[in-house]
Structure 1
Amino acid sequence: MSLIPPGGKKQAWYKEGIQRIHTIMPDQTECIEEFDIKENICVARKWRRVDKLGRISDWEYEIGELPQQQQDKSKQVTTDLFAASNQPVITRHDSEGYYLFKITQMPWPESNYQVTVEDNQLVVRTANKKFYKKLTITDLDWQKIQLVNNFIKFKSFNNTLVIFYQKPPSIVAFEKAAKGARSQNIKEGGEGCRAE
Protein backbone atom coordinates (compact mmCIF):
# COMPACT_ATOMS: atom_id res chain seq x y z
CA MET A 1 0.00 0.00 0.00
CA SER A 2 2.61 2.56 1.11
CA LEU A 3 5.80 2.93 -0.92
CA ILE A 4 8.06 3.37 2.13
CA PRO A 5 9.65 0.36 3.86
CA PRO A 6 7.33 -1.69 6.10
CA GLY A 7 7.06 -0.89 9.77
CA GLY A 8 5.35 1.61 11.97
CA LYS A 9 1.69 2.37 12.48
CA LYS A 10 -0.15 3.41 9.32
CA GLN A 11 -3.45 5.15 8.72
CA ALA A 12 -4.96 5.84 5.31
CA TRP A 13 -7.77 8.12 4.23
CA TYR A 14 -9.18 9.57 1.03
CA LYS A 15 -10.28 13.15 0.48
CA GLU A 16 -10.86 15.21 -2.67
CA GLY A 17 -9.15 12.78 -5.05
CA ILE A 18 -6.04 12.35 -2.88
CA GLN A 19 -5.31 9.32 -0.72
CA ARG A 20 -3.06 10.06 2.24
CA ILE A 21 -1.09 7.49 4.19
CA HIS A 22 0.28 8.64 7.53
CA THR A 23 3.00 6.44 9.03
CA ILE A 24 4.49 6.79 12.52
CA MET A 25 7.70 4.80 12.94
CA PRO A 26 8.84 3.32 16.29
CA ASP A 27 11.34 6.22 16.69
CA GLN A 28 8.40 8.68 16.27
CA THR A 29 9.51 9.70 12.76
CA GLU A 30 6.41 10.56 10.74
CA CYS A 31 5.84 10.22 7.01
CA ILE A 32 2.84 11.35 4.99
CA GLU A 33 2.46 10.10 1.44
CA GLU A 34 -0.18 11.57 -0.87
CA PHE A 35 -1.38 9.69 -3.95
CA ASP A 36 -3.47 11.09 -6.79
CA ILE A 37 -6.22 8.50 -7.23
CA LYS A 38 -6.81 9.16 -10.96
CA GLU A 39 -3.17 9.34 -12.03
CA ASN A 40 -1.98 6.64 -9.58
CA ILE A 41 1.18 8.54 -8.70
CA CYS A 42 2.74 9.74 -5.48
CA VAL A 43 2.34 13.54 -5.57
CA ALA A 44 3.93 14.23 -2.17
CA ARG A 45 6.02 12.50 0.46
CA LYS A 46 7.09 14.46 3.51
CA TRP A 47 8.95 13.52 6.68
CA ARG A 48 9.01 14.93 10.20
CA ARG A 49 11.59 13.71 12.70
CA VAL A 50 12.12 13.97 16.45
CA ASP A 51 15.64 14.85 17.61
CA LYS A 52 17.40 13.52 20.73
CA LEU A 53 15.95 16.35 22.82
CA GLY A 54 12.40 15.52 21.74
CA ARG A 55 11.99 18.51 19.41
CA ILE A 56 9.87 17.93 16.32
CA SER A 57 11.31 19.18 13.04
CA ASP A 58 9.40 20.97 10.29
CA TRP A 59 8.09 18.83 7.46
CA GLU A 60 10.79 18.02 4.88
CA TYR A 61 9.47 17.32 1.38
CA GLU A 62 11.09 14.38 -0.39
CA ILE A 63 8.55 14.36 -3.24
CA GLY A 64 6.49 17.32 -4.37
CA GLU A 65 6.81 21.01 -3.69
CA LEU A 66 6.43 23.03 -0.53
CA PRO A 67 3.24 25.09 -0.41
CA GLN A 68 4.08 28.71 -1.40
CA GLN A 69 3.65 30.09 2.12
CA GLN A 70 6.13 27.54 3.48
CA GLN A 71 8.57 28.26 0.63
CA ASP A 72 8.63 31.94 1.58
CA LYS A 73 9.14 31.06 5.26
CA SER A 74 11.93 28.56 4.50
CA LYS A 75 13.91 31.25 2.64
CA GLN A 76 13.98 33.39 5.76
CA VAL A 77 16.99 33.00 8.03
CA THR A 78 17.20 33.81 11.72
CA THR A 79 18.64 37.24 10.91
CA ASP A 80 15.51 38.02 8.85
CA LEU A 81 17.60 38.04 5.70
CA PHE A 82 16.37 36.14 2.69
CA ALA A 83 18.28 33.66 0.56
CA ALA A 84 19.10 34.82 -2.94
CA SER A 85 16.19 34.13 -5.26
CA ASN A 86 18.51 32.93 -8.02
CA GLN A 87 19.71 29.88 -6.06
CA PRO A 88 18.79 26.56 -7.71
CA VAL A 89 15.77 24.82 -6.16
CA ILE A 90 15.48 21.03 -6.47
CA THR A 91 12.16 19.18 -6.28
CA ARG A 92 11.42 15.53 -6.95
CA HIS A 93 8.27 14.29 -8.65
CA ASP A 94 7.00 10.89 -9.75
CA SER A 95 5.30 9.85 -12.96
CA GLU A 96 4.05 6.43 -13.96
CA GLY A 97 7.31 5.42 -15.62
CA TYR A 98 9.91 7.88 -14.33
CA TYR A 99 11.37 9.53 -11.26
CA LEU A 100 11.73 13.24 -12.08
CA PHE A 101 13.96 15.91 -10.59
CA LYS A 102 13.28 19.55 -11.46
CA ILE A 103 16.10 22.00 -10.81
CA THR A 104 15.08 25.63 -11.33
CA GLN A 105 17.35 28.66 -11.79
CA MET A 106 19.62 26.77 -14.20
CA PRO A 107 20.28 29.32 -16.99
CA TRP A 108 22.84 27.40 -19.07
CA PRO A 109 22.29 25.57 -22.37
CA GLU A 110 21.53 21.84 -22.30
CA SER A 111 24.98 21.03 -23.69
CA ASN A 112 26.52 22.38 -20.45
CA TYR A 113 24.93 19.67 -18.25
CA GLN A 114 26.11 16.17 -17.49
CA VAL A 115 24.12 13.65 -15.43
CA THR A 116 25.77 10.36 -14.45
CA VAL A 117 25.53 7.62 -11.83
CA GLU A 118 28.21 7.55 -9.13
CA ASP A 119 28.01 5.64 -5.83
CA ASN A 120 24.36 4.76 -6.59
CA GLN A 121 23.39 8.44 -6.81
CA LEU A 122 22.61 10.73 -9.73
CA VAL A 123 25.37 13.32 -10.05
CA VAL A 124 24.51 16.56 -11.83
CA ARG A 125 27.38 18.78 -12.92
CA THR A 126 28.00 21.56 -15.39
CA ALA A 127 30.91 21.89 -17.79
CA ASN A 128 31.46 25.46 -16.57
CA LYS A 129 31.81 24.11 -12.97
CA LYS A 130 29.05 26.39 -11.63
CA PHE A 131 26.82 23.59 -10.30
CA TYR A 132 27.40 20.16 -8.73
CA LYS A 133 24.80 18.10 -6.86
CA LYS A 134 24.25 14.47 -5.83
CA LEU A 135 20.64 13.26 -5.92
CA THR A 136 19.34 10.13 -4.20
CA ILE A 137 16.30 8.10 -5.24
CA THR A 138 15.32 6.66 -1.87
CA ASP A 139 12.73 4.31 -3.40
CA LEU A 140 15.53 2.46 -5.19
CA ASP A 141 17.76 2.49 -2.09
CA TRP A 142 14.97 0.85 -0.06
CA GLN A 143 14.63 -1.89 -2.67
CA LYS A 144 18.45 -2.21 -2.96
CA ILE A 145 18.34 -1.52 -6.71
CA GLN A 146 21.46 -0.15 -8.40
CA LEU A 147 21.14 2.90 -10.64
CA VAL A 148 22.37 2.62 -14.23
CA ASN A 149 23.38 5.35 -16.68
CA ASN A 150 21.16 3.94 -19.47
CA PHE A 151 18.00 4.93 -17.54
CA ILE A 152 18.91 8.66 -17.41
CA LYS A 153 17.51 11.37 -19.70
CA PHE A 154 17.42 15.13 -19.18
CA LYS A 155 16.07 18.26 -20.82
CA SER A 156 16.69 21.94 -20.22
CA PHE A 157 14.14 24.68 -20.93
CA ASN A 158 12.98 27.97 -19.34
CA ASN A 159 15.95 27.98 -16.92
CA THR A 160 14.87 24.58 -15.58
CA LEU A 161 16.75 21.30 -15.83
CA VAL A 162 14.47 18.24 -15.73
CA ILE A 163 16.10 14.87 -15.08
CA PHE A 164 14.17 11.69 -15.91
CA TYR A 165 15.22 8.36 -14.40
CA GLN A 166 13.29 5.41 -15.83
CA LYS A 167 11.70 3.18 -13.20
CA PRO A 168 13.02 -0.40 -13.34
CA PRO A 169 10.42 -3.11 -14.14
CA SER A 170 10.54 -4.46 -10.56
CA ILE A 171 9.59 -0.99 -9.20
CA VAL A 172 6.74 -0.66 -11.72
CA ALA A 173 5.41 -4.07 -10.58
CA PHE A 174 5.82 -3.11 -6.89
CA GLU A 175 3.94 0.17 -7.40
CA LYS A 176 1.16 -1.65 -9.28
CA ALA A 177 0.74 -4.09 -6.35
CA ALA A 178 0.78 -1.16 -3.88
CA LYS A 179 -1.92 0.59 -5.93
CA GLY A 180 -4.11 -2.53 -5.69
CA ALA A 181 -3.69 -2.59 -1.90
CA ARG A 182 -4.43 1.15 -1.65
CA SER A 183 -7.61 0.87 -3.72
CA GLN A 184 -8.99 -1.68 -1.23
CA ASN A 185 -8.42 0.74 1.67
CA ILE A 186 -10.02 3.89 0.23
CA LYS A 187 -12.54 5.54 2.54
CA GLU A 188 -13.97 9.00 1.98
CA GLY A 189 -13.39 11.58 4.70
CA GLY A 190 -10.67 12.86 6.99
CA GLU A 191 -11.09 10.51 9.94
CA GLY A 192 -8.95 7.74 8.52
CA CYS A 193 -8.90 3.99 8.74
CA ARG A 194 -6.20 1.65 9.89
CA ALA A 195 -4.25 0.41 6.89
CA GLU A 196 -1.52 -1.88 8.21
Structure 2
Amino acid sequence: MSLIPPGGKKQAWYKEGIQRIHTIMPDQTECIEEFDIKENICVARKWRRVDKLGRISDWDFEIGELPQQQQDKSKQVTTDLFAASNQPVITRHDSEGYYLFKITQMPWPESNYQVTAEDNQLVVRTANKKFYKKLTITDLDWQKIQLVNNFIKFKSFNNTLVIFYQKPPSIIAFEKAAKGARSQNIKEGGEGCRAE
Protein backbone atom coordinates (compact mmCIF):
# COMPACT_ATOMS: atom_id res chain seq x y z
CA MET A 1 0.00 0.00 0.00
CA SER A 2 2.53 2.60 1.16
CA LEU A 3 5.94 2.98 -0.48
CA ILE A 4 7.80 3.55 2.80
CA PRO A 5 9.31 0.62 4.74
CA PRO A 6 6.84 -1.48 6.75
CA GLY A 7 6.10 -0.64 10.35
CA GLY A 8 4.04 1.85 12.24
CA LYS A 9 0.32 2.47 12.31
CA LYS A 10 -1.24 3.49 8.99
CA GLN A 11 -4.46 5.26 8.12
CA ALA A 12 -5.62 5.87 4.58
CA TRP A 13 -8.32 8.07 3.08
CA TYR A 14 -9.41 9.42 -0.27
CA LYS A 15 -10.42 13.00 -1.04
CA GLU A 16 -10.63 15.05 -4.24
CA GLY A 17 -8.72 12.56 -6.40
CA ILE A 18 -5.87 12.17 -3.90
CA GLN A 19 -5.33 9.14 -1.68
CA ARG A 20 -3.45 9.98 1.51
CA ILE A 21 -1.66 7.47 3.70
CA HIS A 22 -0.68 8.70 7.16
CA THR A 23 1.90 6.56 8.97
CA ILE A 24 3.00 6.99 12.58
CA MET A 25 6.19 5.08 13.39
CA PRO A 26 6.99 3.65 16.86
CA ASP A 27 9.35 6.61 17.52
CA GLN A 28 6.42 9.02 16.77
CA THR A 29 7.88 10.03 13.38
CA GLU A 30 5.01 10.83 11.02
CA CYS A 31 4.88 10.39 7.25
CA ILE A 32 2.10 11.43 4.90
CA GLU A 33 2.14 10.10 1.34
CA GLU A 34 -0.25 11.46 -1.28
CA PHE A 35 -1.07 9.49 -4.43
CA ASP A 36 -2.85 10.86 -7.50
CA ILE A 37 -5.64 8.36 -8.24
CA LYS A 38 -5.68 8.96 -12.02
CA GLU A 39 -1.91 9.04 -12.60
CA ASN A 40 -1.23 6.51 -9.81
CA ILE A 41 2.00 8.21 -8.76
CA CYS A 42 3.22 9.59 -5.46
CA VAL A 43 2.77 13.36 -5.70
CA ALA A 44 3.91 14.19 -2.16
CA ARG A 45 5.74 12.57 0.74
CA LYS A 46 6.41 14.61 3.84
CA TRP A 47 7.94 13.74 7.22
CA ARG A 48 7.57 15.23 10.68
CA ARG A 49 9.90 14.09 13.46
CA VAL A 50 10.01 14.43 17.23
CA ASP A 51 13.36 15.47 18.74
CA LYS A 52 14.84 14.28 22.05
CA LEU A 53 13.05 17.05 23.93
CA GLY A 54 9.67 16.06 22.49
CA ARG A 55 9.38 19.01 20.09
CA ILE A 56 7.63 18.32 16.80
CA SER A 57 9.42 19.59 13.69
CA ASP A 58 7.83 21.31 10.71
CA TRP A 59 6.92 19.10 7.76
CA ASP A 60 9.96 18.19 5.64
CA PHE A 61 8.95 17.52 2.02
CA GLU A 62 10.81 14.60 0.43
CA ILE A 63 8.59 14.49 -2.69
CA GLY A 64 6.59 17.42 -4.01
CA GLU A 65 6.66 21.09 -3.13
CA LEU A 66 5.71 23.15 -0.10
CA PRO A 67 2.46 25.09 -0.41
CA GLN A 68 3.24 28.76 -1.24
CA GLN A 69 2.37 30.20 2.19
CA GLN A 70 4.71 27.69 3.86
CA GLN A 71 7.49 28.54 1.39
CA ASP A 72 7.22 32.21 2.33
CA LYS A 73 7.25 31.35 6.04
CA SER A 74 10.23 28.98 5.70
CA LYS A 75 12.36 31.73 4.12
CA GLN A 76 11.90 33.93 7.16
CA VAL A 77 14.51 33.63 9.89
CA THR A 78 14.00 34.77 13.48
CA THR A 79 15.94 37.96 12.68
CA ASP A 80 13.46 38.78 9.88
CA LEU A 81 16.12 38.12 7.26
CA PHE A 82 15.12 36.30 4.10
CA ALA A 83 17.00 33.83 1.90
CA ALA A 84 18.12 35.17 -1.47
CA SER A 85 15.47 34.74 -4.15
CA ASN A 86 18.04 33.46 -6.65
CA GLN A 87 19.08 30.55 -4.38
CA PRO A 88 18.66 27.16 -6.15
CA VAL A 89 15.57 25.26 -4.99
CA ILE A 90 15.50 21.45 -5.23
CA THR A 91 12.28 19.45 -5.39
CA ARG A 92 11.77 15.76 -6.07
CA HIS A 93 8.91 14.37 -8.13
CA ASP A 94 7.99 10.86 -9.26
CA SER A 95 6.70 9.65 -12.60
CA GLU A 96 5.75 6.16 -13.68
CA GLY A 97 9.24 5.26 -14.90
CA TYR A 98 11.56 7.88 -13.38
CA TYR A 99 12.56 9.66 -10.21
CA LEU A 100 12.84 13.37 -11.06
CA PHE A 101 14.77 16.13 -9.35
CA LYS A 102 13.98 19.69 -10.41
CA ILE A 103 16.55 22.35 -9.49
CA THR A 104 15.43 25.90 -10.24
CA GLN A 105 17.61 29.04 -10.46
CA MET A 106 20.29 27.24 -12.51
CA PRO A 107 21.20 29.75 -15.26
CA TRP A 108 24.08 27.89 -16.94
CA PRO A 109 24.01 25.97 -20.24
CA GLU A 110 23.45 22.20 -20.20
CA SER A 111 27.10 21.56 -21.15
CA ASN A 112 28.15 23.04 -17.78
CA TYR A 113 26.43 20.30 -15.72
CA GLN A 114 27.67 16.87 -14.74
CA VAL A 115 25.47 14.34 -12.88
CA THR A 116 27.01 11.08 -11.64
CA ALA A 117 26.23 8.29 -9.17
CA GLU A 118 28.75 8.20 -6.31
CA ASP A 119 28.40 6.51 -2.89
CA ASN A 120 24.78 5.64 -3.75
CA GLN A 121 23.88 9.32 -4.24
CA LEU A 122 23.37 11.49 -7.30
CA VAL A 123 26.12 14.12 -7.39
CA VAL A 124 25.38 17.32 -9.33
CA ARG A 125 28.36 19.51 -10.29
CA THR A 126 28.99 22.43 -12.57
CA ALA A 127 32.17 22.85 -14.60
CA ASN A 128 32.43 26.46 -13.40
CA LYS A 129 32.36 25.19 -9.76
CA LYS A 130 29.35 27.36 -8.85
CA PHE A 131 27.12 24.49 -7.71
CA TYR A 132 27.66 21.12 -6.00
CA LYS A 133 24.95 18.98 -4.42
CA LYS A 134 24.42 15.35 -3.36
CA LEU A 135 20.90 13.99 -3.82
CA THR A 136 19.54 10.82 -2.23
CA ILE A 137 16.75 8.61 -3.56
CA THR A 138 15.43 7.16 -0.32
CA ASP A 139 13.19 4.64 -2.12
CA LEU A 140 16.30 2.93 -3.49
CA ASP A 141 18.08 3.10 -0.11
CA TRP A 142 15.13 1.33 1.55
CA GLN A 143 15.31 -1.45 -1.06
CA LYS A 144 19.15 -1.51 -0.84
CA ILE A 145 19.52 -0.87 -4.58
CA GLN A 146 22.73 0.75 -5.85
CA LEU A 147 22.56 3.69 -8.24
CA VAL A 148 23.88 3.14 -11.76
CA ASN A 149 25.29 5.89 -14.02
CA ASN A 150 23.52 4.42 -17.09
CA PHE A 151 20.12 5.23 -15.52
CA ILE A 152 20.89 8.99 -15.24
CA LYS A 153 19.71 11.63 -17.74
CA PHE A 154 19.35 15.39 -17.37
CA LYS A 155 18.01 18.38 -19.28
CA SER A 156 18.42 22.10 -18.74
CA PHE A 157 15.89 24.71 -19.86
CA ASN A 158 14.38 27.98 -18.54
CA ASN A 159 16.98 28.23 -15.73
CA THR A 160 15.91 24.80 -14.46
CA LEU A 161 17.92 21.59 -14.36
CA VAL A 162 15.78 18.43 -14.44
CA ILE A 163 17.49 15.16 -13.49
CA PHE A 164 15.85 11.86 -14.47
CA TYR A 165 16.82 8.60 -12.78
CA GLN A 166 15.22 5.53 -14.40
CA LYS A 167 13.42 3.29 -11.92
CA PRO A 168 14.87 -0.25 -11.77
CA PRO A 169 12.49 -3.11 -12.72
CA SER A 170 12.29 -4.31 -9.09
CA ILE A 171 11.04 -0.87 -7.97
CA ILE A 172 8.45 -0.77 -10.76
CA ALA A 173 7.20 -4.22 -9.68
CA PHE A 174 7.11 -3.10 -6.02
CA GLU A 175 5.14 0.05 -6.91
CA LYS A 176 2.70 -2.01 -8.99
CA ALA A 177 2.05 -4.33 -6.02
CA ALA A 178 1.60 -1.31 -3.72
CA LYS A 179 -0.85 0.19 -6.23
CA GLY A 180 -2.92 -3.00 -6.12
CA ALA A 181 -3.00 -2.92 -2.32
CA ARG A 182 -4.03 0.76 -2.33
CA SER A 183 -6.87 0.19 -4.80
CA GLN A 184 -8.23 -2.69 -2.69
CA ASN A 185 -7.94 -0.71 0.54
CA ILE A 186 -10.02 2.29 -0.48
CA LYS A 187 -12.58 2.34 -3.25
CA GLU A 188 -13.12 5.54 -5.22
CA GLY A 189 -15.50 7.89 -3.46
CA GLY A 190 -14.74 6.55 0.02
CA GLU A 191 -14.22 9.44 2.40
CA GLY A 192 -13.69 7.59 5.67
CA CYS A 193 -10.46 6.61 7.37
CA ARG A 194 -9.35 3.04 7.53
CA ALA A 195 -6.60 1.61 9.70
CA GLU A 196 -4.27 -0.96 8.27
Q: What band does the TM-score fall into relative to the shorter chain?
A: over 0.9
Kept in 2: contact 1:7–1:25 (CA 8 A): yes
Deviation at 1:187, TM superposition (A): 4.7
The alignment yields a C-alpha RMSD, in angstroms, of 1.2
Deviation at 1:190, TM superposition (A): 8.4
Residue number in structure 2 paired with 1:80: 80
Kept in 1: contact 2:44–2:63 (CA 8 A): yes
Kept in 2: contact 1:187–1:193 (CA 8 A): no
Deviation at 1:193, TM superposition (A): 3.0
Kept in 1: contact 2:14–2:191 (CA 8 A): no
TM norm structure 1? 0.97
Residue number in structure 2 paired with 1:50: 50
Kept in 2: contact 1:13–1:188 (CA 8 A): no
Instruction: Report the Cα distance in structure 2 between the residues aligned to 1:194 and 1:84, rounded to whole angstroms.
Output: 43
Residues 52-111 of structure 1 show CA distances to partners (whole Å, capped at 9, x for unaligned) of 000000000000000000000011111001100000000000000000000000000000
Deviation at 1:192, TM superposition (A): 3.9
SS in 2 for 1:96: coil
Instruction: Report the Cα distance in structure 2 between the residues aligned to 1:182 and 1:14, rounded to whole angstroms.
Output: 10
Residue number in structure 2 paired with 1:33: 33
> Does 1:149 pair with 2:149?
yes
In structure 2, do the counterparts of structure 1 residues 16 and 44 end up closer, same or farther at CA, with 3 Å as the change threshold?
same
Instruction: Report the Cα distance in structure 2 between the residues aligned to 1:190 and 1:26, rounded to whole angstroms.
Output: 28
Residues 4-62 of structure 1 show CA distances to partners (whole Å, capped at 9, x for unaligned) of 00000000000000000000000000000000000000000000000000000000000
Kept in 2: contact 1:13–1:189 (CA 8 A): no
Instruction: Report the Cα distance in structure 2 between the residues aligned to 1:157 and 1:55, rounded to whole angstroms.
Output: 41
Deviation at 1:185, TM superposition (A): 1.1
Moved more, 138-147 or 181-190: 181-190
Instruction: Report the Cα distance in structure 1 between the residues aligned to 2:15 and 2:191, rounded to whole angstroms.
Output: 10
Instruction: Report the Cα distance in structure 2 between the residues aligned to 1:187 and 1:193, rounded to whole angstroms.
Output: 12
Kept in 2: contact 1:106–1:160 (CA 8 A): yes
Kept in 2: contact 1:152–1:166 (CA 8 A): yes
SS in 2 for 1:91: strand
User: Stretches of 4+ moved more than 2 A in 1?
Assistant: 187-196
Instruction: Report the Cα distance in structure 2 between the residues aligned to 1:177 and 1:188, rounded to whole angstroms.
Output: 18
Instruction: Report the Cα distance in structure 2 between the residues aligned to 1:131 and 1:166, rounded to whole angstroms.
Output: 23
Instruction: Report the Cα distance in structure 2 between the residues aligned to 1:186 and 1:146, rounded to whole angstroms.
Output: 33
Task: Give the percent of matched residue pairs that are identical in Structure 1 and Structure 2.
Answer: 98
Residue number in structure 1 paired with 2:121: 121
Query: In the comparison of the two structures, how many residue pairs are matched?
Result: 196
Query: Can you give the 5+ residue segments of structure 2 that lack an aligned partner in the other structure?
Result: none
Kept in 2: contact 1:154–1:163 (CA 8 A): yes
Kept in 2: contact 1:17–1:37 (CA 8 A): yes
Deviation at 1:186, TM superposition (A): 1.4
In structure 2, do the counterparts of structure 1 residues 120 and 67 end up closer, same or farther at CA, with 3 Å as the change threshold?
same
Residues 159-181 of structure 1 show CA distances to partners (whole Å, capped at 9, x for unaligned) of 00000000000000000000000
Query: Can you give the 5+ residue segments of structure 1 that lack an aligned partner in the other structure?
Result: none
SS in 1 for 2:178: helix
Kept in 1: contact 2:15–2:191 (CA 8 A): no
